Each structure stands twice: as C-alpha cells, then as structure tokens.
Amino acid sequence: MCRVRHNEQQTTGNALAHHREIYAIRYATHTGRQPHQNYLTPDIHNEGTDLDYFVWLIRGGDGDILVDTGFNAIAASERARALMVNPADALKNFGVSPDSIRDVVITHLHYDHAGNLDRFPKARFHLHDREMRFATGRCMCHGLLRHPFSVEDVTLMVRHVYSDRVVFHDGDAEIAPGVTLHHIGGHSDGLQVVRVETERGPVVLASDAAHYYANMQRKNPFPIVYNIGDMMDGWNTLERLAGHPDRVIPGHDPLVRELYPRVAGIADAVALHKAPMRSFVEKDANKRS
C-alpha cells in the first residue's frame, strides 16, 4: 500500500500536465483454446480462456501514439484467427486517421503486434535494438522461435529502417512527456513495455510480458517464451513500473474488457486510464481476512 500512496503523490506534481488517456481496442479473438496453449505448466486451476488481440491508443499531449499495429485479414486467415476489424480502420471510430499517426510503438515483432506496417505512412516506429536483432538473427533458424513472426512484417520493418522511419531504443526511453518504454525481454528477446502517466497513476501496457492476469498471478508463463527467467523477472518489473497490480494491463486477456469502462459508441474499446470495476488487491485481501 505504501507504494501506491507513493505513486499517487508522484503523479500530483508536474506529471499532471502530462496525463494521457489510454484506450484498449480489441480487433480479433481466438476461441477454443486449451489450457496448455495458455500456460507452460497447466494445472486444475487453468482454463482454456479465449485469447483477445488488442492495440492501444494513447491520447493527449502533442499527438496520438499507437502501441502495436495488429494483423490484417490475410494473417488472420492464415492463422485461423477471427478478425473483427483491421486496427488501422478501428482508429477511425476515435476520429483518428492512420495517416495522422506520427509515433507507433512496436512492443515486439510477432505477427499479432507488427502487421499493417504499410497502413501508417507518416509514422516512425519505435523498436528495441534486441528485437530487430532477434527477428533477423540466428534464432530465426529455429521453426519454433520464428513461428510467431511473419517474414513479411519483419521485411517491411527492415525496409522502414532503410527509409529512416525506425527509432531504435536500448533500455528505458521517454518518447513523449509521460510516455516511457522499458525493456523486459522474456517472451521475445527485445520485448518492450509502455508506461503511461494517467489520472489514476502510471499505467503499464505489458503487451506479451503477460498475456493474462493469471500468468502473473500464478507465476505460470505463457508457453511462447524465449527466456523464462527474463519473463518471470519481468512480472516484478511490470509491478514496479506501475506501482500497483491494478495498473498493469496484460496483452491478451478478455478480462480487460470486463474490468474497464466501455467507450460510449465504440464497440470493443475500453478506457484504461479509468479505474477498474474491481481490484485484484482487494480480492486478495478479502481472501486473507
């Protein structure tokens, strides 16, 4: 609890000027998953939860920032995922044209986070050094490790490097006031998460550093993992960056859409800068009492 108060105090100063809004936009889903697809070591508590796919729109400040770019209809059909809307088109519900996006954070280069790179003609892409190295290096000689990547997406990102449209990061980086990137690794070697100052304190978009809340809470990794130690350390880093478990947003959990308020008039979008309907911490405290 001390840490929570500490962080709330932190955000009442200068950071107030940099408070952002964050919207999670679900663009696809995958149903019928078995427990072993979601947990490295499934047990009787694990269910075959659906996997939702999101991009995240950060609003406020000098311009909108998009976190990840999702996949398109071709990738959806190749991988038998149910695409509801192309993420670039979903932005139009917010009155945002893909042409107006100047900054896109790519948390990592897996197909469900780094497709549609041709849909944002004026954007620069924020990528971690290690992710490009991983996605184009010797690890991609292994089918298991390259399976979540699309060679078309990775190639397009290389093309963007050659046209001065990629900003590489190595460690912590502030890309706009109140918006910082942090390397976690684990799931993919160069995975970075995004910390955003909001009215309820810093919110951390974990992307695939945690697919589900339960991966973190049960200390049970999602089975697509490059370095298990980095992934498990990453859960502690997420909580440290956020200052409170309720401010960590997993990358694929359908619970996110139940916990956060819907955005009026926009299907499949929730507001992450608002308080969740219930707290995981209170739930745990009640259990103990």
Residues that bind Zn ion (CB under 5 A): 110, 112, 208
> What distance in Å separates the CA atoms of residue 207 and residue 253, rounded to the nearest whole number?
10
Q: Which is nearer to Zn ion, 22 or 243 (CB)?
A: 22
- Least spacing, CB of residue 93 vs Zn ion, in Å: 22
- Least spacing, CB of residue 44 vs Zn ion, in Å: 26
Q: Would you call 124 helix, strand, or coil by DSSP?
A: strand
Q: Which is nearer to Zn ion, 112 or 253 (CB)?
A: 112
Phi-psi region of 243 (alpha: psi -120 to 50; beta: other; left: phi over 0): left
221-249 burial, b if ≥16 CB within 10 A, otherwise e? bbebbbeeebbbebbebbbebbbbbbbbb
- Length in residues, the chain: 289
- Least spacing, CB of residue 54 vs Zn ion, in Å: 9
Beta strands at 124-128 and 65-67: parallel, antiparallel or unpaired = unpaired
Q: Which is nearer to Zn ion, 197 or 208 (CB)?
A: 208
- Residue with the shortest CB distance to Zn ion: 110
Q: Which is nearer to Zn ion, 197 or 268 (CB)?
A: 268
- Least spacing, CB of residue 143 vs Zn ion, in Å: 16
Which residue(s) pair with 176 in the sheet?
179
Give how far Cα 228 sits from Cα of 40, 121, 203, 217, Å: 10, 36, 24, 16
Q: Which is nearer to Zn ion, 87 or 178 (CB)?
A: 87
- Least spacing, CB of residue 62 vs Zn ion, in Å: 28
Please give the backbone phi and psi of residue 248, each rounded to the nearest 5 degrees, phi first.
-100, 125
Q: Which is nearer to Zn ion, 147 or 240 (CB)?
A: 147
Give me the residue label for tokens 């990629």.
166
> What distance in Å separates the CA atoms of residue 139 and residue 146, rounded to the nearest whole number?
7
Q: Would you call 98 helix, strand, or coil by DSSP?
A: helix
- Least spacing, CB of residue 251 vs Zn ion, in Å: 5
